[in-house]
Protein backbone atom coordinates (compact mmCIF):
# COMPACT_ATOMS: atom_id res chain seq x y z
CA UNK A 1 0.00 0.00 0.00
CA UNK A 2 3.05 2.24 -0.32
CA UNK A 3 2.78 4.37 2.80
CA UNK A 4 6.19 5.70 1.82
CA UNK A 5 4.73 8.49 -0.26
CA UNK A 6 7.06 11.41 -0.72
CA UNK A 7 4.64 14.19 0.22
CA UNK A 8 5.25 17.65 -1.13
CA UNK A 9 7.40 20.10 0.76
CA UNK A 10 6.06 23.56 1.49
CA UNK A 11 8.00 24.99 -1.45
CA UNK A 12 6.88 22.26 -3.80
CA UNK A 13 3.27 22.59 -2.77
CA UNK A 14 3.28 26.36 -3.17
CA UNK A 15 4.83 26.22 -6.64
CA UNK A 16 2.48 23.44 -7.70
CA UNK A 17 -0.63 25.26 -6.55
CA UNK A 18 0.39 28.28 -8.57
CA UNK A 19 1.19 26.26 -11.66
CA UNK A 20 -2.09 24.42 -11.56
CA UNK A 21 -3.92 27.70 -11.07
CA UNK A 22 -2.35 29.01 -14.26
CA UNK A 23 -3.22 25.85 -16.15
CA UNK A 24 -6.77 26.28 -14.93
CA UNK A 25 -7.17 29.97 -15.73
CA UNK A 26 -5.11 30.55 -18.86
CA UNK A 27 -7.19 28.56 -21.36
CA UNK A 28 -10.34 30.31 -20.22
CA UNK A 29 -8.75 33.73 -20.53
CA UNK A 30 -7.56 33.00 -24.07
CA UNK A 31 -10.88 31.51 -25.13
CA UNK A 32 -12.80 34.45 -23.70
CA UNK A 33 -10.85 37.09 -25.61
CA UNK A 34 -10.80 35.20 -28.91
CA UNK A 35 -14.47 34.26 -28.73
CA UNK A 36 -15.44 37.81 -27.94
CA UNK A 37 -13.30 39.45 -30.62
CA UNK A 38 -13.16 36.86 -33.40
CA UNK A 39 -15.70 34.14 -32.66
CA UNK A 40 -12.95 31.55 -32.38
CA UNK A 41 -11.93 29.26 -29.56
CA UNK A 42 -8.23 29.16 -28.79
CA UNK A 43 -8.15 25.66 -30.22
CA UNK A 44 -9.67 26.85 -33.50
CA UNK A 45 -7.25 29.77 -33.60
CA UNK A 46 -4.24 27.51 -33.16
CA UNK A 47 -5.55 25.11 -35.78
CA UNK A 48 -6.00 27.94 -38.28
CA UNK A 49 -2.57 29.34 -37.46
CA UNK A 50 -1.01 25.94 -37.98
CA UNK A 51 -2.59 25.70 -41.40
CA UNK A 52 -1.51 29.24 -42.27
CA UNK A 53 2.09 28.39 -41.45
CA UNK A 54 2.09 25.07 -43.29
CA UNK A 55 3.51 24.67 -46.81
CA UNK A 56 0.76 25.53 -49.30
CA UNK A 57 -1.31 26.40 -46.23
CA UNK A 58 -2.32 22.74 -46.23
CA UNK A 59 -1.95 19.91 -43.76
CA UNK A 60 -3.15 16.36 -43.27
CA UNK A 61 -5.86 15.96 -40.66
CA UNK A 62 -3.76 13.51 -38.68
CA UNK A 63 -0.79 15.85 -38.66
CA UNK A 64 -2.96 18.78 -37.58
CA UNK A 65 -4.56 16.72 -34.84
CA UNK A 66 -1.16 15.76 -33.49
CA UNK A 67 0.11 19.33 -33.55
CA UNK A 68 -2.92 20.65 -31.69
CA UNK A 69 -3.20 17.83 -29.15
CA UNK A 70 -6.60 16.88 -30.50
CA UNK A 71 -8.02 13.44 -31.06
CA UNK A 72 -8.99 12.78 -34.64
CA UNK A 73 -12.71 12.71 -33.88
CA UNK A 74 -12.48 16.05 -32.13
CA UNK A 75 -10.59 17.62 -35.02
CA UNK A 76 -13.09 16.15 -37.44
CA UNK A 77 -15.98 17.89 -35.69
CA UNK A 78 -14.09 21.17 -35.41
CA UNK A 79 -13.04 20.99 -39.06
CA UNK A 80 -16.63 20.46 -40.14
CA UNK A 81 -17.70 23.60 -38.28
CA UNK A 82 -14.79 25.63 -39.66
CA UNK A 83 -15.59 24.41 -43.14
CA UNK A 84 -19.24 25.36 -42.75
CA UNK A 85 -18.05 28.84 -41.85
CA UNK A 86 -15.87 28.95 -44.95
CA UNK A 87 -12.63 29.27 -42.99
CA UNK A 88 -11.06 26.04 -44.23
CA UNK A 89 -11.62 23.59 -47.08
CA UNK A 90 -11.13 19.83 -47.02
CA UNK A 91 -10.33 17.54 -49.94
CA UNK A 92 -8.99 14.03 -50.36
CA UNK A 93 -5.23 13.73 -50.45
CA UNK A 94 -4.09 12.82 -54.00
CA UNK A 95 -1.19 10.64 -52.86
CA UNK A 96 -3.12 8.65 -50.28
CA UNK A 97 -6.82 8.64 -50.86
CA UNK A 98 -7.54 7.51 -47.32
CA UNK A 99 -6.21 10.83 -46.09
CA UNK A 100 -7.86 14.25 -46.02
CA UNK A 101 -6.05 17.52 -46.48
CA UNK A 102 -7.25 20.72 -44.86
CA UNK A 103 -6.47 24.14 -46.32
CA UNK A 104 -7.13 27.51 -44.83
CA UNK A 105 -9.15 29.78 -47.11
CA UNK A 106 -8.73 33.47 -47.82
CA UNK A 107 -11.57 34.15 -45.41
CA UNK A 108 -9.73 32.12 -42.79
CA UNK A 109 -6.53 34.09 -43.37
CA UNK A 110 -8.50 37.31 -43.11
CA UNK A 111 -10.01 36.22 -39.82
CA UNK A 112 -6.77 35.24 -38.11
CA UNK A 113 -5.05 38.35 -39.43
CA UNK A 114 -7.74 40.38 -37.73
CA UNK A 115 -7.64 38.25 -34.60
CA UNK A 116 -3.87 38.08 -34.15
CA UNK A 117 -3.21 41.56 -32.74
CA UNK A 118 -5.84 41.23 -30.05
CA UNK A 119 -4.63 37.79 -29.17
CA UNK A 120 -1.02 38.90 -28.91
CA UNK A 121 -2.16 41.76 -26.74
CA UNK A 122 -3.90 39.30 -24.43
CA UNK A 123 -0.83 37.09 -24.29
CA UNK A 124 1.25 40.09 -23.29
CA UNK A 125 -1.25 41.41 -20.78
CA UNK A 126 -1.86 38.09 -19.06
CA UNK A 127 1.64 36.61 -19.09
CA UNK A 128 4.61 38.02 -20.95
CA UNK A 129 4.54 41.59 -19.71
CA UNK A 130 4.51 40.31 -16.14
CA UNK A 131 7.96 38.76 -16.57
CA UNK A 132 11.46 40.17 -16.69
CA UNK A 133 13.75 39.06 -19.55
CA UNK A 134 15.53 36.82 -17.06
CA UNK A 135 12.27 35.24 -15.99
CA UNK A 136 11.30 34.72 -19.62
CA UNK A 137 14.47 32.71 -20.12
CA UNK A 138 13.84 30.80 -16.90
CA UNK A 139 10.29 30.03 -17.99
CA UNK A 140 11.60 28.71 -21.29
CA UNK A 141 13.96 26.33 -19.51
CA UNK A 142 11.48 25.24 -16.87
CA UNK A 143 8.72 24.62 -19.38
CA UNK A 144 11.16 22.71 -21.53
CA UNK A 145 12.05 20.42 -18.66
CA UNK A 146 8.39 19.82 -17.85
CA UNK A 147 7.46 19.17 -21.46
CA UNK A 148 10.18 16.56 -21.68
CA UNK A 149 7.91 14.63 -19.30
CA UNK A 150 4.50 15.65 -20.59
CA UNK A 151 5.23 15.69 -24.32
CA UNK A 152 8.35 13.59 -24.92
CA UNK A 153 8.14 13.61 -28.70
CA UNK A 154 7.45 17.34 -28.89
CA UNK A 155 4.19 17.12 -30.76
CA UNK A 156 2.93 20.44 -29.49
CA UNK A 157 6.10 22.48 -29.71
CA UNK A 158 7.03 21.43 -33.23
CA UNK A 159 5.16 24.37 -34.73
CA UNK A 160 7.64 26.74 -36.29
CA UNK A 161 6.20 30.17 -35.85
CA UNK A 162 2.91 30.82 -34.13
CA UNK A 163 3.28 34.55 -33.89
CA UNK A 164 5.26 37.49 -35.20
CA UNK A 165 3.91 38.24 -38.65
CA UNK A 166 3.18 34.60 -39.37
CA UNK A 167 -0.26 35.01 -40.86
CA UNK A 168 0.61 38.07 -42.91
CA UNK A 169 3.70 36.35 -44.27
CA UNK A 170 1.71 33.28 -45.20
CA UNK A 171 -0.65 35.64 -46.98
CA UNK A 172 2.03 36.90 -49.33
CA UNK A 173 3.12 33.37 -50.29
- Return residues touching its own copies (CB under 8 A): 2, 5-8, 10-30, 69, 116-117, 120-121, 123-128, 130-131, 133, 135-151, 156-157, 159, 161-165
Q: Which of 2, 9, 10, 71 binds DNA (CB under 7 A)?
A: 71
Can residue 85 be called a binding residue for DNA (CB under 7 A)?
A: no
At a CB cut-off of 8 Å and minimum separation 6, what does 157 contact?
A: 147, 151
Among 54, 61, 88, 104, binds DNA (CB under 7 A): 61
Does 72 interact with DNA (rule: CB under 7 A)? yes
If binding means CB under 7 A, how many residues of this protein chain bind DNA? 27
Q: What is the residue-wise DSSP string for 110-145? A: HHHHHHHHHHHHHHHHHTGGGS-HHHHHHHHHHHHH
CA 50 to CA 89: how far, in whole Å?
Answer: 14
Smallest distance, Å, CB 86 to DNA?
A: 16
Give the helix/strand (H/E) hosting 171: helix 166-172
78 binds, among DNA, its own copies, none (CB under 5 to 8 A by kind): DNA
- Evaluate whether 116 touches 95 at the Cβ level (below 8 Å): no
Which of 5, 6, 97, 129 touches DNA by CB under 7 A? 97
Query: 83 vs 123, which CB is nearer to DNA?
Result: 83
42-53 vs 72-84: helix axis angle to the nearest 10? 80
CA distance 168 to 173: 9
Strand partners, 58: 103
Q: Is 22 in the site for DNA (CB under 7 A)?
A: no
Where on the chain is the footprint of DNA (CB under 7 A)? Answer: 28, 41, 43, 60-62, 65, 70-81, 90, 93, 96-101
Amino acid sequence: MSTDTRWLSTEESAAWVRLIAIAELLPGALDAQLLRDAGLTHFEYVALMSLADAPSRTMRMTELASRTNATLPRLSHVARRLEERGLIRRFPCPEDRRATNATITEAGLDLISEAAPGHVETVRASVLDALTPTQLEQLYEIAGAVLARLDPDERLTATSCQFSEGPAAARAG
